[in-house]
Amino acid sequence: MRKLTILFIVIDVLVAFCFLLFYGPFESFRNTLVNTAMVTKTHQYIAYTFYSEDTVQKIMDLNKFIPVDEDINLDDIIIDTGEKDTYDNEYDEAILKREDGNEDYKYLKIKIGKYNAHLVAIYDPTKVKLITCKKFNTSDKSGKETILKMSEREGAVVAINGGGFMDLDGYGSDIPMGYVIRDGKVIWSQDNSKQNIIGISEEGKLILVNATGEEAIEQGMRDGLQFGPFLIVNGESIKYQTSAGGYDRAARTAIAQRKDGVILFLTTEGTHGSGPTMKEVVDTLKLYGAYNAANLDGGTSSQMVIEGKLVNNPKNVFGQSVVGGRRVVTGFGLVLDE
């Protein structure tokens, strides 16, 4: 009888603890649980098991943002990426001061809050190209590739992942989500609607436009892909409707450009529910001089490859390392020889 009483006490304590955890003052835990479940798509039922639709929606609303309401002004970008004799600050020096024997790019391992992050400065922006998986829309999803494999095949010495892809079953696909533009041509699209498109012009300028694929090309885009949101436009940062920082916490990837033309690739460590907020990413990019910037696909998809090595540690929704990186469909790379 005593053992049974102890068992009931233990059960009561566990139930009380779980009730306190899920419905008590631990707002961070609740928000992380809901955001993680909703992002993974196939596990959204977890959020609705513990919380009402209204509560889930209120938590998701914390991630809403107010886009920058102005067109990008490419005339502000004056490409002059040579090493300088003087620097504006320590971050400017970190970007512009070359490493011995490498005039093409510079790698910086930095911190964003408590999270490790990887930043690459690319000195010739005209060498930034779209890279893609070997095939789109195969019947067995065999076209998708990791950024490591993609960069090897495309000849990119530095590469990051790019746009999203259809993921109806939680296992990804080789079907790009939205526009893909390469060499001045739309090579993939789902429709002809206006969307946020991130790309590079022949002159090496980062173009951020809400347009159709054809309109983006008319505005000078050589290579591009659909994703977002735009984080910085003409030096003005995206704003959020709450102090949450937008999109909760996660591993992130971003592309940016300074006014002097230097392109920045950024990838952070993290998992779903753990990693920098979007605001922290924006603030960091601005420290290093970003004048225009855009968010790319994050979470498990976040990958950076340098000289044939995956430098970050992608993790799945369970926090497990994905050896070699997740297979994706597009990215941006520094391609020196073609």
Give the model's confidence band at 256: pLDDT under 50 very low, under 70 low, under 90 confident, else very high. very high
Amino acid code (one letter) for 103: E
Angle in degrees, CA 257, 326, 311, rounded to 5: 55
Side-by-side strand order, sheet with 263-268: 105-112, 115-122, 263-268, 253-258, 290-296, 230-233, 236-237
Is 294 in a helix, a strand, or coil? strand
What is the residue-wise DSSP string for 160-184? EE---B--SSSS--S-BSS-EEETT
Structure tokens at 99: 């490493």
The identity of residue 306, as a single letter, is I
Model confidence pLDDT, tens digit, residues 259-280 = 999 999 999 999 877 899 888 9
Amino acid letter, 1: M
pLDDT over threshold 50, residue 244: no
Question: Cα(194)–Cα(229) distance, rounded to whole angstroms?
Answer: 14
Predicted confidence (pLDDT) per residue in 199-232, tens digit: 999 999 999 999 999 999 999 999 999 999 999 9
Mean pLDDT over the full length of the chain: 86
Q: Among candidates 7, 8, 56, which has minimal Cα distance to 36? A: 56
CA atoms of 19 and 34, how far apart (whole Å): 16
DSSP 91-109: HHHHHHSPBTTBSSEEEEE
Q: What is the DSSP string of 54-100?
A: HHHHHHHHTT-EE---S---GGG-----SPPSS-SSHHHHHHHSPBT
Contacts of residue 258, Cβ cutoff 8 Å, sequence gap at least 6: 95, 264, 288, 289, 290, 291
At residue 243, what are phi and psi to the nearest 5 degrees?
Answer: -80, 5
C-alpha pair distances (Å), 59 with each of 27, 241, 247: 10, 12, 11
- Torsion region of 88: left, alpha or beta (phi above 0 gives left; psi -120 to 50 gives alpha): alpha
Q: What is the rounded average pLDDT of the residues 152-166?
A: 96
Identify which of 9, 300, 335 has the alpha carbon closest to the alpha carbon of residue 153.
335
pTM: 0.84
Please answer whether residues 220 and 72 qualify as being in contact, where contact means their C-beta atoms are separated by less than 8 angstroms: no
Q: Which of 296, 330, 298, 299 is nearest to 316 (CA)?
A: 299
Task: Of 31-40, 123-132, 150-159, 160-169, give the lowest mean pLDDT range.
Answer: 31-40
Q: Is the pLDDT of residue 257 over 50?
A: yes
Contact of 249 with 222, CB cutoff 8 Å:
no
Q: Does residue 251 contact residue 268 with C-beta atoms inside 8 Å?
A: yes
- Structural contact between residues 165 and 174, judged by C-beta atoms closer than 8 angstroms: yes
How far apart are the C-alpha atoms of 78 and 259, rounded to whole Å? 6
Convert the pLDDT of each residue in 49-82 to its tens digit. 777 777 766 666 666 667 777 899 999 999 999 8
Q: Say which residue, 91 or 250, is predicted with more confidence.
A: 91
Q: What spatial distance separates the first Cα and last Cα of the chain, rounded to whole Å?
A: 79
